[in-house]
Amino acid sequence: MSKVKKKVKTIKIDLDKCNGCRACEVICSAFHANPKYSSNNPARSRIRMIREPIRDIYVPVYAGEYTAAECMGRDKYVIDGKEYSECGFCRASCPSRDAFKEPDSGLPLKCDMCEGEEEPLCVKWCLNDALICEEREEEVEEEEKLGDMEIGLESLANKYGLQNIADTVARMSKKE
Amino acid sequence: MRYGETGFNLEIDLSRGNIERVETDPRLTELHLGGLGTNAKILWDRVPPETEPFSPDNLLIFSTGLLCGTPAPGANRTIVTSYSPQTLLMGYSMMGGFFAPELKYAGYDKIILRGKSPDLVYIWINNDKVEIRDANHLRGKGAIQTSELIKQELNQPNAQVAAIGLAGENRVFTASIEQGRSSSSRLGMGAVMGDKGVKAIVVRGTKDVNLARPDEYIGLCNDVLKYIKFRGENPVPNVMTILQGLGSPQEMLHVDEQWHTENFSWGNARSRRKDFWTKEVEERWKDVQETVRTRLISCYNCPIKCGAIISVPGISTYMMKCFTKLTYTMAAFVDDLDFGFRIAQRATEYGVDGFSTPQIMAFAFELREAGILTEADFEGCPSDNEGKFFWLLDRIVRREGIGDILADGVYWAARKIGKGAEAFDHNTIKKHEQLPLKLGMLNPVYFLMYATGEKINITQIEGQFPQAPFATMEERQEFISDWIQCPDDKFKQIVLDWDFRGEHSNPYYPTVDMSVDIVDWQEKMHYIDDALGVCAGLSSFPLKPPYHMHNYPKFITAATGIDIDEDGLTEVYNRNRNLLRAINVRRGLRRADEKPPEDHWKKRFPELEEKLLDAYYKFKGWDNDGIPTKESLHKLGMDYVAEDLEQRGIIKNEQG
């Protein structure tokens, strides 16, 4: 695969500025609704607020890659005297927790930086500047982009094996 | 499919343990919008006026507003409605936070509680799964503590909990319902919740809230955010600091309290301390506030940071907003703000209204000084100002000794104590404690809002119109130059003509008719907010807010598909205003009750005040006793209300 120069967007998260309002979840779920903006449901959001006001924990985390396996550790981190569980920071959609999964299907969700928009909408809606979009140029391997269906299928394949899925599809096609 | 709303209420009969998911009539949304409007309709239809607040037949309704759960910034208010034990009228007290949107995502617009649970319970709503669970292990626990314990017990860190503390369990009339960083405080909704045997309601939802015209709607939301940002960068000039921005007064942000401490009265709304704010006080208070304030925080989907996490060393963390930091301090004549933050922590866990409760305590100590309450009533009470307030707060919440009488609020306590105690009840309206004001000249607009407001909370009636005239013509012109929220140019002219002194000054200017117009506009915005569930801090409460009469109809139409314009929205407001009035009229409210506290203003104008009330009633389509007329009810399509009032002899037959 050839290397190409690509602009990579990242979101810088400044925990100190977060006011815990969850506007990032709101606009993310609305943007990704089908048709666009037709519904709102933070449970479908690709960014999550880990929010424990009484312990002053406010951590927006946006969804990364799907992972088929649970991780080994369940480490705890103490930062500025506050205790965070490892899952709090983890961006993966994994088998051991509900975060970053479609509430109906359980299929994984992944942040796509609001493809087609100037900047991710969670950044736009965060008037407190806890989320800041940064762009940098990187040399990356050219990679074919996966569509929504492929992302879903990939996770199904990881879970059940490609052959099982092919068999199921064949069986379903017969019924129709 | 229903848009904006879910179309379902959750009905729970606590006596029988019955739970039902009930589809609602979309026509009612068109008539009343939701939130306050449909709550009032339910109360009118289903709870007869003879019903006592602590009767199993009384309903306790937790409602979302119509726009809650949609992307509209600041649409997060829960409207709690019941008959109030304190005023005996309809109570509707609201809380921000995170509860209402979560309830929508769980699939419900309202939770309607009826009956009484024989034992203390909490309600766990997880989408379609609803359980009534034992709460005996939570008895006596603090409201925040309860919330944390339940989330742990259910292993649901994302659930939202509305809970009462000990005050609610003991039916203290000023008991609040605490939730997230907010509370439903006024009118004793926490007492009704305690009476029903419900310690908490817990909700978690993962369903969709749908919009009728998505692109239009998100465009409107983006405009609102843009305007919020603009206002953040462009505070309103020539008005006092707390009026310059958006949101609730930014008490957690601002540390300069000269205005509040020197203009509001201390103790039982008695005396002003005009030279209180010194350099030393300023430094000390700034230091205290910045030390205990961990973070400025917001409600659901709102960028404005009106609240704060407060961590006072040695006591558990809580969240605070607005004026509570001062109410206890000033009522107790304590000069250190540290006391305010410490006692508010205990009061929040107990779950009491931070506006009323300190007033009740100050009233009690005034009665002791006057010899009306005796030393025996205060046996064991410390002598220092801080200690005695902590002591009495405990007594009231536990309903022990004199605390049992005081737990019913100033009005009822004064009548129970007798021996002249009634004379010390000088700061209540409709039996409810008010802001401890003592101003010079009567302000006709504020007179009307205090007298006729049925929310019993001035800060949630006022907002759209400046509180005082601007000093120069330049300032006036500057103010009206970008007043896009103003619904009619006649209001701009009033601002231009209004002076500090002379012919065009208080109390005779704004004139009687102008005052009525202004009050109607301010009230209208609040009634709409309370139906839509939008925080007043982004709409009816501050000057020049992002939500106003010109964009609200568009929001409603884009969210729900209901075609509505400004006139249509005004009609819904009039319907809701009249329905609420009719509910209260049916429970005995009359003109005689519509009186602001005696010494709110040093100079009073009895004749003018009567004229103001006359004109206000007339404008509203009410008779001279404040009762909606048959004709005006008919115009609003509310003949059923007129018939009921007629049958009860409240509207006389000959009246047209």
User: CA–CA separation, B100 vs B97, rounded Å?
Assistant: 8
pLDDT single digits (tens) A97-147: 888 999 888 899 999 999 899 999 999 999 999 999 998 888 777 666 677
pLDDT single digits (tens) A4-33: 787 888 899 999 999 999 999 999 999 999
User: CA–CA separation, B429 vs B436, rounded Å?
Assistant: 12
B391 burial level (CB within 10 Å; 0-12, 13-18, 19+): middle
Q: Which two tokens stand for residue B587?
A: 């429970």
From the list A19, A40, A127, the residue facing B208 with the nearest CB is A40
CA atoms within 13 A on the CB side of B562: 27
For residue B507, whether the previous peptide bond is cis, meaning omega lies within 30 degrees of 0, is yes
Q: How many CB atoms lie under 10 A from the CB of residue B112? A: 21
User: CA–CA separation, B364 vs B372, rounded Å?
Assistant: 9
Q: Which amino acid is at B462?
A: E
Alpha helices in B453-565 (DSSP H): 473-481, 489-497, 512-532, 552-560
- pLDDT value of position A176: 64
pLDDT exceeds cutoff 60 at B628: yes
Q: Which residues pair with B121 in a beta bridge?
A: B134, B198
Give the CA radius of gyration of chain A.
18
B297 contacts in chain A (CB < 8 Å)? 19-21, 53
pLDDT exceeds cutoff 50 at B655: no
User: CA–CA separation, B74 vs A117, rounded Å?
Assistant: 24
Across the interface, do A56 and B218 touch by the CB < 8 Å criterion?
A: no
Which residue in B125, B146, B158 sits closest to B199, CA to CA? B146
Q: Which amino acid is at B644?
A: D
Looking at chain B from residue 373 to 412, which residues have their Cβ under 8 Å from any Cβ of chain A? Answer: none
Looking at chain A from residue 82 to 141, which residues have their Cβ under 8 Å from any Cβ of chain B? Answer: 103, 125-128
Q: Which two tokens stand for residue B181?
A: 């960083």
Which of B211, B246, B555 should we substitute to test contact with A (largest number of A Cβ atoms within 10 Å)? B211
Q: Which two tokens stand for residue B214?
A: 């998505």
pLDDT single digits (tens) B357-376: 999 999 999 999 999 999 99
- pLDDT value of position A144: 67
From the list B209, B298, B319, the residue facing A40 with the nearest CB is B209
β-strands B428-429, B318-321: how paired?
unpaired
Distances in whole angstroms, Cα of residue B585 to Cα of each of A15, B473, B622: 51, 44, 11
CA atoms within 13 A on the CB side of B306: 25
Q: Which two tokens stand for residue A11?
A: 């979101």
Q: Which residues pair with B603 in a beta bridge?
A: B441
Mean predicted confidence (pLDDT) in B86-109: 97
Q: Which two tokens stand for residue B548?
A: 């106003």
pLDDT single digits (tens) A50-103: 999 998 889 999 999 998 888 876 788 888 888 888 787 889 998 888 889 998
Lowest mean pLDDT among B74-83, B234-243, B465-474: B234-243
The end-to-end CA distance of chain A, in Å, is: 40
Averaged confidence pLDDT in chain B: 96
A158 Cβ under 8 Å from any chain B Cβ: no
CB A41 within 8 A of CB A31: no
- pLDDT value of position B656: 43
Distances in whole angstroms, Cα of residue B141 to Cα of each of B119, B137, B149, B350: 15, 9, 10, 8
Which of A16, A21, A55 should we substitute to test contact with B (largest number of B Cβ atoms within 10 Å)? A21
Across the interface, do B309 and A53 touch by the CB < 8 Å criterion?
A: yes
Across the interface, do A38 and B296 touch by the CB < 8 Å criterion?
A: no
User: Which of the four pLDDT bands, split at 50, 70 and 90, describes residue A152?
Assistant: confident
Which residue in B453, B578, B487, B634 sits closest to B37, CA to CA? B578
Q: Who has greater pLDDT, B330 or B254?
A: B330
Q: Residues with Cβ < 8 Å from A74, sequence gap 6 or more?
A: A85, A86, A87
From the list A22, A39, A42, the residue facing B210 with the nearest CB is A39
Mean predicted confidence (pLDDT) in B322-340: 94
pLDDT exceeds cutoff 50 at B40: yes
Percent of chain B residues past pLDDT 90, beyond the cut = 93
Across the interface, do A35 and B298 touch by the CB < 8 Å criterion?
A: no
User: CA–CA separation, A10 vs A22, rounded Å?
Assistant: 19
A80-83: long-range contacts, CB 8 A cutoff, minimum separation 24: A82/A55, A82/A56, A82/A57, A83/A55
Across the interface, do B218 and A30 touch by the CB < 8 Å criterion?
A: yes
Looking at chain B from residue 34 to 53, which residues have their Cβ under 8 Å from any Cβ of chain A? Answer: none
Which residue in B233, B356, B244, B228 sits closest to B298, CA to CA? B228
Which residue in B391, B486, B512, B398 sits closest to B168, CA to CA? B398
Which of A28, A31, A39, A45 should we substitute to test contact with B (largest number of B Cβ atoms within 10 Å)? A39
Percent of chain B residues past pLDDT 70, beyond the cut = 99
DSSP string covering A136-157, please? EEEEEE--PPPPHHHHHHHHHH
* Nearest-neighbour CA in chain A from B65: distance (Å): 15
DSSP, collapsed to helix, strand or coil, labels residue B323 as coil
DSSP, collapsed to helix, strand or coil, labels residue A102 as coil
β-strands B307-310, B293-297: how paired?
antiparallel
From the list B70, B148, B303, the residue facing A54 with the nearest CB is B148
| ipTM of model | 0.95
DSSP, collapsed to helix, strand or coil, labels residue B327 as helix
B172 burial level (CB within 10 Å; 0-12, 13-18, 19+): buried
Mean predicted confidence (pLDDT) in B539-560: 97
Which residue in B388, B2, B399 sits closest to B211, CA to CA? B2
Looking at chain B from residue 53 to 82, which residues have their Cβ under 8 Å from any Cβ of chain A? Answer: 69-71, 73
* Nearest-neighbour CA in chain B from A175: distance (Å): 31
Across the interface, do A33 and B305 touch by the CB < 8 Å criterion?
A: no
Q: Who has greater pLDDT, B247 or A154?
A: B247
